[in-house]
Homo-oligomer: A and B are copies of this chain.
Amino acid sequence: MSIPCNPTCQPVLIAGSWQAAASTESFRATDPNSNRPIPRQYPVSGWADVSAALDAAVAAYDRLRATDPARIADFLETYARLIDDAAASLVDAAHQETGLPRAPRLAEVELPRTTGQLRLAAAAARDGSWTLPVIDTRNGLRSCYESLGPVAVFGPNNFPFAFGSASGGDFAAAIAAGNPVIAKANTSHPETTRRFADLAVAALAETDMPPATVQLIYRTSHADGERLVGDPRLGASGYTGSRQAGLALKGAADAAGNPIYLELSSVNPVVIAPSALAERLDALVDEFTHSALLGTGQFCTNPGLVLLVRGPASDAFIQAVRDRYAATAPGTLLSPSVNQSLERSIDTLVQAGARLLVGGEPVIGRCARTNTLLSVTGAQFLGDSAVFQTEAFGNAALIVVAESIPQLVQVIESLEGSLTGSLYTASHAEDDEYHRLARVLTPRVGRLLNDKMPTGVAVSPAMNHGGPYPATGHPGFTAVGLPASIRRFAKLTCYDHVREPRLPRWLRDRNPTGSTWRCIDGDWSTADVP
């Protein structure tokens, strides 16, 4: 079988070299600020590219298993430095491809977050506590997490840096664990991803790492994408994006027994108890409007569903938010497909009976839509709760007005899994009302917030950026926060009476760093094995 290579397209990065893709098709990205295609062409790789990347990744994985984690950390830090040095070029590309503002968003918020995350991943790789070493001296058993094999990373459209396939959280976690990454660029920002991969190549060379530790393809057919995540050469996959595409990949990975970590969709309910509205209505309007329209609403943790109880204060809240939505210039959406999908979601909600309070109009000349607010009653929501949980990714939100607290509880009980759930009560409220609502909200969310909007996702060891299905594919893992996010891309291995000199460094008698946390005979310690 001969597959033509495509010399008019940008090259793919396979086995350490930029090479013409084995492809017959190509695609271009769109500048959402002008709605015009960007001239540069990128290949749709055929299976030959994917298979070659898998072979190279398997060989790199074998070498990485024998590589000192300090070298992996050096690579991550070198890469972070090169990214900082190339910030202007990366910001340019991302601004053109995503429409996100150069500043503060790209240059001052997302880029530092990205390099900070890479440096935290480097520290975690060097320290090794992420492997959760458990040592049972009486039984001669020692176990820890260790690398798993090549990881395919499918990044989303909305964070070209911090969740990027070749730069973001999944990438950093997979590499820190000692796995090579096959990055599948988000097709809305191929040039941004290519520039990152170019810097990764330089950082790999500078730190003498296996060149195939980072590889890049831009796009495949759906069938080849599914074949990739189910390939026996692959260790695991990380995917952030639309529910439909994610579930197709999940089906293929599950059928093959390959782990896949997904971040699919989330409406992120914000429950505002009457006591909170009574106390601080104006502040809540400010907080909600700011969070809901931040980044044109294009965050996984965007508060897309507000739950209120009927009453004059709720009416006033809705009216004030409506006015703010009308008065705020709509931001630019990431791509024509985000715009279309937002339109479809708003239509779906309206068709199901939601009242359009404001917005829903297209904006001419760029990817944008006026800020959109909809509302339904609690009874309406309960009558068709699956449809009313349709994610409207972008600058749109649905307000549910329940009849009463008991109906509000019912509405919460009808919710699918979300990444987050926020619960606002009065500052000095008795906690009965709180507990009644939290009891039903908590099992449905990965992160519960008090009196706080969900859009800030700190890169903290205590973060959970995850949640019950269908927010993610498994309720026990976080995609943000080190070191926990690293353990997604790892296998647990027990060493049973393995001779001490043969053990992995984290399990040897001597604490390999002097500061690695290990659980020795039931106690966490940084000491050597006694």
**Residues in chain A within 8 A of chain B (CB atoms):** 62, 65-66, 134-136, 139, 141-143, 145, 148-149, 250-251, 254-259, 420, 431, 434-435, 438-439, 442-443, 445-452, 454, 458, 460-464, 466, 468-470, 473-478, 484, 487-488, 490-499, 501-502, 517, 519, 522-525
Q: Are A462 and B148 in contact (CB under 8 A)?
A: no
Chain B contacts for A66, CB-based, 8 A: 439
Q: How far is the CA of A463 from the CA of B143 in the complex (A)?
A: 7
Query: What's the least CB distance linking A31 to chain B, in Å?
Result: 36
Q: Are B498 and A446 in contact (CB under 8 A)?
A: no
Answer whether A134 and B461 are a contact pair too, CB < 8 Å, given A259-B474, A476-B145. yes
Q: Are B469 and A492 in contact (CB under 8 A)?
A: no
Among A254, A454, A475, A499, chain B packs the most CB atoms within 10 A around the CB of A475
Q: Find the B residue at minimum CB distance from A147.
A: B443
Chain B contacts for A431, CB-based, 8 A: 501-502
Answer whether A492 and B519 are a contact pair too, CB < 8 Å, given A254-B250, A431-B502, A524-B524. no
Chain B contacts for A475, CB-based, 8 A: 148, 259, 491-492
Q: Are B492 and A460 in contact (CB under 8 A)?
A: no
Copies in the complex: 2
Answer whether A139 and B460 are a contact pair too, CB < 8 Å, given A431-B502, A452-B497, A484-B134. yes
Q: How far is the CA of A216 from the CA of B323 in the complex (A)?
A: 57
Name the one of B443, B463, B477, B492 contacting A446, with C-beta atoms under 8 angstroms. B492
Q: Are A492 and B464 in contact (CB under 8 A)?
A: yes
Q: Are A450 and B498 in contact (CB under 8 A)?
A: yes
Among A143, A420, A466, A494, chain B packs the most CB atoms within 10 A around the CB of A494
Q: Find the B residue at minimum CB distance from A495.
A: B448
Q: How far is the CA of A277 from the CA of B254 in the complex (A)?
A: 41
Chain B contacts for A442, CB-based, 8 A: 493
Query: What's the least CB distance linking A52 to chain B, in Å?
Result: 19
Answer whether A257 and B462 are a contact pair too, CB < 8 Å, given A497-B449, A498-B448. no
Q: Find the B residue at minimum CB distance from A470.
A: B257
Query: What's the least CB distance linking A458 to chain B, in Å?
Result: 5
Q: Are A487 and B476 in contact (CB under 8 A)?
A: yes
Known: A258-B469, A464-B492, A464-B493. 9 other contacts (CB 8 A): A65-B443, A136-B458, A143-B462, A259-B476, A443-B491, A450-B499, A450-B502, A475-B492, A476-B492
Chain B contacts for A65, CB-based, 8 A: 439, 443
Name the one of B149, B438, B451, B494 contacting A462, with C-beta atoms under 8 angstroms. B494
Q: Find the B residue at minimum CB distance from A471.
A: B257
Chain B contacts for A487, CB-based, 8 A: 476
Q: Are A463 and B251 in contact (CB under 8 A)?
A: no
Among A148, A149, A468, chain B packs the most CB atoms within 10 A around the CB of A468
Q: How far is the CA of A488 from the CA of B443 in the complex (A)?
A: 16
Q: How far is the CA of A517 from the CA of B523 in the complex (A)?
A: 8
Among A460, A474, A501, chain B packs the most CB atoms within 10 A around the CB of A460
Answer whether A434 and B250 are a contact pair too, CB < 8 Å, given A257-B469, A492-B475, A494-B447. no
